[in-house]
Amino acid sequence: MDKSSRHIMIDLETMGTSCISAIASIGAVAFTLDGETEALCHIGVDLQSCVNVGLELDASTVTWWLKQSKENQERLLALKTKTLKDALVALFDSFVLLDKVKTCVWSHGSNFDTVILENACKLVGVPVWWKYSNVRDTRTLFDVCNYKYVASGGHDALDDAMNQAEAVAKAYSQLTRR
């Protein structure tokens, strides 16, 4: 990995666990492998706009959200929402100064956040901003480094993205010290 490259950590809060889940919020953080972080965006997504294009709500996930702390629920509901298309455009607009070819896009798991975003983009006709070969996965890095990641916070997309970005920088520093 090029230590001087920019990296983006994306985290979603969704209303399901499948690759076509409705998106409730998006958090994105720019970071370097040296541990510098900068919040890029925290966007609430109108669930009806997700359902209207074919993304799905899963009853068990909705029930799970209803069982979360009042604080977690309120933080999610307090976000001003945009339609799915407008949210995706706003997300990608926050990347405008970054080089698409050199920027890595990360998520916590290889088959969730970025996959859901790519599917959502296809459904609303928004081109995916990142280059397919620049998608990265925290869980693989943590496993390779034997880094013990412990999630903190309360299911807030921006907080989760920030925590994951900081953990990637710590795991990477462990890897490079070997």
2 or 50, greater pLDDT: 50
Closest CA to 41 of 49, 57, 56, 30: 30
Q: Indicate if the pLDDT at residue 36 is higher than 80.
A: yes
For residue 125, how many other CB atoms are within 10 A of its CB? Answer: 9
Q: Give me the phi and psi of 168, to 5 degrees please.
A: -60, -45
| Cα–Cα distance, 79 to 164 (Å, whole number) | 21
Whole-model pTM? 0.94
Residue 97 has pLDDT above 80, yes or no: no
Contact (CB, 8 A) for 34 and 2: no
| Residue-wise pLDDT tens digits, 52-96 | 999 999 999 999 999 999 999 999 999 999 999 999 999 999 887
